[in-house]
Amino acid sequence: MLSIVVLTVFATIVLYLGFFKNRNIIVPVALIGIFIALFCLISKQSLWNNWFMNMMSIEGPSRIFSILILSTTACLLPFINVFRARGSEEVADFSGILLFSIIGGLMMVSFSDLMILFLGLEILSIAMYILAGADRKKIKSNEASIKYFLLGAFASAILLFGIATYYASTGTFRLDTQVIHSSALINLSYLLLFSGLAFKVALVPFHFWAPDVYEGTPTVFTATMATVVKISAFGAMFQFIFYCGSNMADWLYWLLSIVALASILVGNIMALTQHSVKRLLAYSGIVQAGFILIGFLQFRLENSWMILYYLIAYTSASLVLFLGSYFVEEQSGTDDQSAFKGLYYNNPFLAIVLSIALISLGGGPLTAGFMAKLFVLNNAAQSGNIVLVIFALILAVLSLVYYFRIINLMFTKTNEERKWQIDFSYRSILSLLSIGTIVAGIIPYLLVNLLK
């Protein structure tokens, strides 16, 4: 709770810092805010014991989700400095909005009352609609913002309708009150709630916005969308299944497994045909979301660390990929795959870091991505879903085709050799994430013990 207060205070301070000419202190101030909030979370400080009449509680898994959101944002914030040339007020705006958005994220992962879920979702979403249009002068960015806003509003409406049906069938907004009977109406409300959240993580068939919006949004904020928003929405799904999972009808679980497989299938096939790296990553994000959803199918609290592990593996790889491809885009002026050609000869650091991230996403051995897939799929197989596992694995081969196509391009020699470097601070963040990916893949115990 205290962390939300801290974040709000710092977001406001950061916004006001935009009045001053010194554009170098904005991001550090925002970072200080995040670190204080992180400290509050980790040291289990709380301001009030009774938060909003128990409508939310940051405990157990939701604490880890919150820490994950905050640390992802801490990795993302320094990259807002790439907007420095546009003046201090833009840097302040974007940092402030980013801080506000993660307040929404924190609410989403720790709700036990559907009102908080809706509030959190809206706080997060509205901030993201703005950030999607951050490149005001680019038509694509505007298009992305409007598209995201219109479709997002629609999804929110569906979610709200789900909340309404939940209220209609139980007479309360709270999820933690025991619902004995399992009526058609309450299952309908679960379906609608799930659909609203599935939109945010871009699961098939709610994925149509993702490639267009990802493509138009400035890459730093695409990274936010692919990581912070997905973590928050999966965190909300986690709370939702934690409270209501036992009450859900069997056909809902069937539906979830079909959605998971469809996401893996459609995402893979569409990604194969993409030229733009950001669109490709959008589809690959759909695939990864499908894998995470498999983790939800056999939900038991003692196995919940698998979902968290997968999210961490996915987040660290995606951050490297989006932020790395930002620099490539910056250099060549396009996010087409051809821009990656010969990267190894021009900037070996970036090529190696990106390769590690791609291998991890593809499930290569001794990376976090492999362990994550192994955990989730093994868990599914133990509960008898072996057919799902086999299909998921066979489809996962497709994803290696497009991941390794990029690696192939990066290691292809080109005629023009222009060596270039990335700033030290950005380099250290990227290498930290890559080393983390490998360490978590070699010694999974370290991370798993933390998550447990």
Partner 1 sequence: MMSIISLILFPFVFALLIYVLDKKWSAYLAIIGSGLSLFYFLYLLSGFKASMKVENEFQISWIPGINSELHFGLDSLGIIMILLSVIVIPIGILSSFKYKDNRSKSYYMLMLMGLSALIGFFSAQNDITFYVFFELSLIPFYFIILLYGGADRKKAVFKFFIYTVFGSFLMLAAIIYFHSLIGANKTTDWALLYDMEIPLKSQTWILAALLVAFAIKSPLFPFHTWQADLYAEGDRPTIIIIAGVLSKMGVFGLLRFFNVVNDAIALYQIPLIILCIVGIIYGALIAWRQSDLSRLLAYSSLSHMGMIAAGIFTASISGLQGSVFQMLSHGLVAAGLFFVVDTIMSRTNSSNIYASSGIASTQPNLAFYFFVLCLASVGLPLTSGFIGEFDILLGLTNTNIYLGAIAGLSIIFGAIYTFRLYQKSMFGTSNEVSSTWKPLSLTEEYALLILVLLVFVLGFFPSSWLDLADQATAPFVQLKSKM
User: Which of 149, 147, 138 lies closest to 219, judged by CA?
Assistant: 138
Burial class of residue 320, CB neighbours in 10 A (0-12, 13-18, 19+): buried
Q: Rounded to 10 degrees, what is the CA torsion of 123, 40, 51, 292? A: 60
**Which region holds residue 11: left if phi is over 0, alpha if psi is between -120 and 50, else beta?**
alpha
Name which of 74 and 381 has its Cβ closer to partner 1.
381
Name which of 6 and 357 has its Cβ closer to partner 1.
357
**CB of 254 vs partner 1, minimal distance in Å:** 20
448 in contact with partner 1 (CB under 8 A)? yes
Name which of 216 and 369 has its Cβ closer to partner 1.
369
Distance CA(220)–CA(440), nearest Å, equals 25
**CB of 427 vs partner 1, minimal distance in Å:** 18
Name which of 152 and 441 has its Cβ closer to partner 1.
441
Instruction: Map the footprint of partner 1 across residues 331-370, applying CB under 8 A.
Output: 359, 363-366, 370
**CB of 348 vs partner 1, minimal distance in Å:** 9
Taken in order 145, 146, 148, 154, the sign of the CA dihedral is: positive
- Rounded (10°) angle between helices 209-216 and 277-297: 130
Encoded tokens for 198: 């599935």
Instruction: Map the footprint of partner 1 across residues 285-324, applying CB under 8 A.
Output: 303, 305-306
Name which of 293 and 371 has its Cβ closer to partner 1.
371
Instruction: Map the footprint of partner 1 across residues 101-130, applying CB under 8 A.
Output: none
Binding mask 368-407 for partner 1 (x = CB under 8 A): --xx--xx-xxx-xx-x-x--xx--xx-xx--xx--xx-x
408 in contact with partner 1 (CB under 8 A)? yes
Number of residues that bind partner 1 (CB under 8 A): 37
Cβ-based neighbours of 254, under 8 Å, separated by 6 or more:
none
Name which of 103 and 261 has its Cβ closer to partner 1.
261
Encoded tokens for 371: 């362990």
Stretch that binds partner 1, among 158-166, 173-181, 215-223, 441-449 (CB under 8 A): 441-449
Q: What angle do CA 174, 178, 179 make, to 5 degrees?
A: 95
Cβ-based neighbours of 306, under 8 Å, separated by 6 or more:
295, 372, 375, 376, 379
**CB of 162 vs partner 1, minimal distance in Å:** 33
Which residues sit at the interface with partner 1, rule CB under 8 A?
Answer: 303, 305-306, 359, 363-366, 370-371, 374-375, 377-379, 381-382, 384, 386, 389-390, 393-394, 396-397, 400-401, 404-405, 407-408, 411-412, 444-445, 448-449
